[in-house]
Amino acid sequence: MSVLIIIFLTAVAALFAGVFEKGKFSRYIGILGLIIAFYVSFLPELEFFAQYKSMFEFGQNAALFTKISIVITILIFFLGGFAFSNHRSHQAELYSLMLFSLMGGIVLFGFQNLVTLFLGIEILSIPLYVLAGSNKTDLRSNEASIKYFLMGAFATGFLLFGVALLYGSTSSFDLYEIHAFSVANPKNLMFTMGAVLVLVALAFKVSLAPFHMWSPDVYQGSPSLITAFMMSVVKISAFFAFFKIMTIGFLGITGSWINIMGVLIIITLFLANVMGLAQSNAKRMLAYSSVSHVGYLALIFFGLNNLSTYNLAFYLFAYSLATIGVMMCLIWVEKLKRETSYNAFQGLAQSEPILAVVAAISMLSMAGIPLTAGFMGKFGIFAQAITETPFLVLVAILGSAISIAYYLRLIMVMFFPKESSFKTLEKVPLTYNIIAVFIIIAIIALGVFPDLFAMQFGL
């Protein structure tokens, strides 16, 4: 709760910096507040907040995922100076809205009640509807905003209908009372229907196919830094909430929803990877790549054990680092070329080798190539799931193999072009090069020494 209050105060301070026409300082205010919040997340929670435990509890798992989200948000804020250079008139609003959205994510990490779950999802989502359309002169951005809003409202309808059925069955919104009811009444039809509706709603939120139809258009149309935020921090928050309610609240009726999850995983991995192959735009390809990773993540529901939460956290952190690595490269190219087609990246390695290398290593990590963090993340989840469903793991391995093709396509364009399309003297900001080196080291270090993750986050 202390972390939540610090981020709230930081968001308000960043917003008021814009009121006093000091919007350029909002980024620094945000980074400072996030660093303080990261430090506080390691400290024991104040006794004063114990009275709110029935609604929100900042336990060990909530603290772990909060730390991950804060680190990724800090990296995104460091990229904002260049990425938001054409948003000078309303930079403060953009940074503060990202912080408010992060607050929703933190609520989702610690929710103990379905009311808190709903509030967390809405606090997470509403700022994103605005952020997606923040490039007001771009029709794609406007389309992304309205499409995200409509699909988000649609998913919220499913969620509330499901919650109503759950409450009608259990007479409680408490997560652990719902858990007890599911164990005692695994054949209750109304409860099972409510659980399935909540599953569908959260499948929308994490973009699990076939409920993913909004994400390629929204990710492509949104400003690229906002896309990076949605593909990383928002994905971390929504998927942990998904994991928590399915494995705690609905544990007693696992047999009723686990087969549905298996079918959704197969559809997601097949559809997303095949569509990724068909793309000629790098940003849209990364959108389908993001959808495919939800399919890999969903394998966490199979073969649950004591390491499941750790495996989920490691995968999400590795994936988010790789996402930032690729998106920072895309942001630079998009600023220079005003487009994100594959052709726009031709010869990038000759002009900006550090950016090209970080993008290449990030995509190899996404594909699960050995000696990268992505490989260790996939290995942890696949090793857990293979004990219960070897067929789904085989499907996931085939999906990973297909994904290598579209990642390599972009890598080949950057490093082995027919002719370089970069004829500019403009250089990448020093901040981008520093973050690129950090991400390269982090991805390789976590791939070689995965225990570093536990050490760095106080586990």
* pLDDT tens per residue, range 246-263: 999 898 888 889 999 999
Q: Which of 286, 320, 310, 327 lies closest to 443 in space, CA to CA?
A: 320
Burial (Cβ within 10 Å: 0-12, 13-18, ≥19) of residue 272: buried
* Rounded-to-integer distance, Cα 48 and Cα 252, Å: 33
Task: Provide the percentage of residues in the chain whose pLDDT is more than 70.
Answer: 96
pLDDT of amino acid 47: 75
pLDDT of residue 458: 60
| Three-state SS at 20 | coil
Number of neighbours of residue 429 by Cβ within 10 angstroms: 15
DSSP 279: -
Cα four-point dihedral sign 288, 292, 297, 301? positive
| Residues 1, 293: Cα–Cα separation, whole Å | 30
pLDDT in tens, 424-443: 667 788 888 999 999 999 99
pLDDT band at 86 (very low <50, low <70, confident <90, very high): low
Evaluate whether 385 touches 300 at the Cβ level (below 8 Å): yes
Q: How far apart are CA 237 and CA 381, in angstroms?
A: 18
Output the average pLDDT for the chain: 88
pLDDT of residue 23: 62
pLDDT tens-digit map of 107-125: 999 899 999 999 999 999 9
Rg (CA), the chain: 21
Higher confidence at residue 82 or residue 171? 171
Q: 212: pLDDT confidence band, cut at 50, 70 and 90?
A: confident
pLDDT score, position 428: 82
Q: What is the pLDDT of residues 189-201, one digit of tens each?
A: 999 999 999 999 9
pLDDT tens by residue, 102-111:
999 999 998 9
Q: Does 15 have pLDDT greater than 90?
A: no
pLDDT of 18 reads 73
Angle among Cα 325, 6, 159 to the nearest 5 degrees reads 70
Which residue has tokens 């599911």? 182
pLDDT at 264: 94
Residues 277-309: tens digit of each pLDDT: 988 889 999 999 999 999 999 999 998 888 889
Place of tokens 């550090």: 354
- The more confident residue out of 92 and 102 is 102
pLDDT average, residue stretch 161-185: 92
